[in-house]
Chain A
Amino acid sequence: MDISLFFRYNVKKCMQQMRDKRKGMYAMEVILQNLTKKFPSRDRKKRGEVVAVNDFNFVIPDGKLIGLLGPSGCGKSTTLNLISGLIKPTGGRILFGKDDVTDLPPEHRGIGLVFQNYALYPHLTVRQNITFPLENLKGKDRLSKSQMLQKAMEAARLVQIEELMDRKPGELSGGQQQRVAIARALVKRPKVLLLDEPLSNLDARLRLQTREEIRRIQRETGITTIFVTHDQEEAMSISDMIVVMKDGVAQQIGKPQEVYDSPANLFVARFLGTPPVNVFDGCVRNGKLYIGGDEVLETPGVSDTGERKVFAGVRPEGFLLQEDGPLRCGLKGVEVMGREISVVSGNSASLNPTVRAIISAENAERIFASEESAEGKAICVRFALVPRKVFLFDVETEKRISFAGKK
């Protein structure tokens, strides 16, 4: 046989095997219905409860990577623990596919859980840590020693830690421990993989690497994966979908880019993006947006009776440096970031202490020139706004008000 043909045949067979394997690790839709968790108040004298998760409805699609995102104390970890079964909900149902698992203990849900601090057993080797979940299987699921080792090896290969099997967790770096924890969670072929702040204990460089790693593992196994994070960049970069939470309420659910481009309310707009969105006190009059007296943008379709006060959010990349731009700000400084520059300025209507605009570095010359010529005197920069990057929010409800040309 021709050697290249033989090779091609082998590759084909390999691919087929991989596909079969993926089918074996079948994934699951996770459905949360009116999920609610209330904790009794810590203060005994004060009656009342802390609502950690409030009426959460979400269908997590099969085989996707979902990021639960929010500031600390927003109920994202509680949501994860509810799905894992470590805590029982006060109300609502959790379904995996067609099975109602609300009342099932964690071990019968078919989940893999990776803890924030990994929770690797320090007295066991990596191999023993990974086989630990398998040793609990009883009855017809019971595995022989060699089967266990084989499965452990498979999981280890998936996260690329085969050469560390005889070490103890204390002898591993943070990133390696993280992989071991993922291998341990995957070894039982869970239907759902849950990760609690998976990257928070890693340094910046490892974080980048590990989040790609998590993405790869999720793609390779096709397991529905839910992870919790407070880092919006982390969540946006690898998730198929993100859920932004605040005070136990899911604020917005959607694809990362969609949520970024059209936030449902002021909180979501502020939470996503670095540098954060610039928020101004503004008002809409006759279909036009005014910020601090400047008429900055046409906003057709906003219902206003005479004059309507709004919060106007402008993404840093939504500013265009223009000599006759409508928005006037006092220049405070310029920060060079290499690829682009960040123009820091002040505006009396701004709710943020400074207005930050990200400008492509090619346009930097003018700014630098004007900064130098000013010689310490206050100078004015003028911006035009990109309508797509401007969001209006109701002052009362903080919900977004759409205007024409935007959804």
Chain B
Amino acid sequence: MRKKRDSSNLKAWLYLAPALLFLGVFMIYPLVDVFIYSFEEGYNSASQTYFGTGVYNYSYVLHDPYFLQAVKNTFLLVMITVPLSTVIALLISVGLHSITPFRNFLQTVYFLPYVTNTLAVGLVFMILFKKTEYSDGFVNVLIRWFGGESVDFISGPYWAKMFVLCFYTIWVVMPFKILILTSALASVSQEYYNAARVDGTSKFRIFRRITLPMISPMIFYLVITGFIGAFKAYSDAVALFGTDLNAAEMNTIVGYVYDMLYGDSGGYPSYASAAAIILFAIVLTITCINLLVSRKKAHV
């Protein structure tokens, strides 16, 4: 009996081996490596040397104004876009779910951003928001038409740039959320709504007491993945503000890591590693909190 179990265990490991191998080489080894680099001062990837070990890298990164700017930007981006995009996606999904004509057409329209290239979308946003010598950009034309002062969204004040970045991010992440939420809504049985109607439940109460709890697992899923995704934001900022994000005050943590590795001021894998580990710690903490909350609040 025991022998048989051993051999079947062996088989199990054999089948798992390819997956474990790839995970080990491409996930676990780099993770551990990054963790080690982050404690090695002045590591040089070409000569594979370093001066000493300690927490100096962390101290440097945490005192670097560019990093602090990146942290501030990332947190603002996360705190604004995740709740907003989820709420708006929920509203659109409910709207899509309750209309019958053109539903398929509208679903396609709302899904388009998902299959569109990030940089192409960035270009469109440039046309909408960028102010040049020749034109003010479409949004500024609108603002002036309503009697407002034109604003340079791409290289103007900080709040304007942050607004564009958030707008862009929300627009890009929305399709996936709408897709998930419309299917979640469709999976709620019509019988529940009928039962609520017989009891004279108001539309709002039906939504709050029945629909929302029933799709809450999906909402929490979207919030958790949304948080993780937003913390890893980088390409969106590049698409809008170009590669010199530090100068534009629009860098994100991942952007900072990239700059430290390959940017004009790059070549500091130790600092990059320290920043990456800090980001990892932040995401881990937030995700843990999210999971704890969702376990308490979400039904099922």
Contacts and interface: CB of A to CB of B under 8 A. Distances in A.
Interface residues of B, number: 20
Nearest to B193: A119
Given A84-B198, A113-B198, A136-B201, A119 B191 contact: yes
A122 B300 contact: yes
Interface in A209-246: none
Interface string B188-229: 010110111111111001000110011010000000000000
Given A119-B189, A119-B192, A121-B192, A107 B300 contact: no
A231 B134 CA distance: 79
B299 interface: yes
A115 to B, nearest CB: 5
A170 to B, nearest CB: 8
A117 B197 contact: no
Contact of A119 (B194, B205, B209, B213): B194
Contacts of B200: 105-108, 133, 136-137
A142 to B, nearest CB: 13
The binding surface of chain A is classed by DSSP as loop
Contacts of B205: 136
B197 A86 contact: yes
Interface string A184-218: 10001000000000000000000000000000000
Given A119-B189, A136-B200, A113 B299 contact: no
A184 B202 CA distance: 18
Given A121-B210, A123-B213, A136-B205, A106 B197 contact: yes
A117 B192 CA distance: 10
A282 B198 CA distance: 51
A117 B201 contact: no
Nearest to A170: B300
Interface string A45-87: 0000000000000000000000000000000000000001110
Given A122-B300, A123-B213, A123-B300, A188 B199 contact: yes
B199 A115 contact: no
A111 interface: yes
Contact of A115 (B194, B214, B216): B194
Contacts of B195: 113, 115, 119, 121, 184
Nearest to B216: A123
Interface in A74-116: 84-86, 105-108, 111-113, 115-116
A121 B212 CA distance: 12
25 contacts: A105-B197, A106-B198, A106-B200, A107-B198, A107-B199, A108-B200, A111-B198, A113-B194, A113-B195, A115-B194, A115-B195, A116-B191, A119-B192, A121-B192, A121-B195, A121-B210, A123-B213, A123-B300, A132-B199, A132-B201, A133-B198, A133-B199, A133-B200, A184-B195, A188-B199
Leading 10 A-B pairs by shortest Cβ distance:
A107-B200, A123-B299, A133-B199, A119-B191, A119-B195, A123-B213, A106-B198, A113-B198, A136-B200, A115-B191
Interface of A: 84-86, 105-108, 111-113, 115-117, 119, 121-123, 132-133, 136-137, 184, 188
Interface of B: 189, 191-192, 194-202, 205, 209-210, 213-214, 216, 299-300
Given A107-B197, A115-B194, A117-B191, 5 more contacts: A84-B198, A86-B197, A119-B189, A121-B210, A123-B214
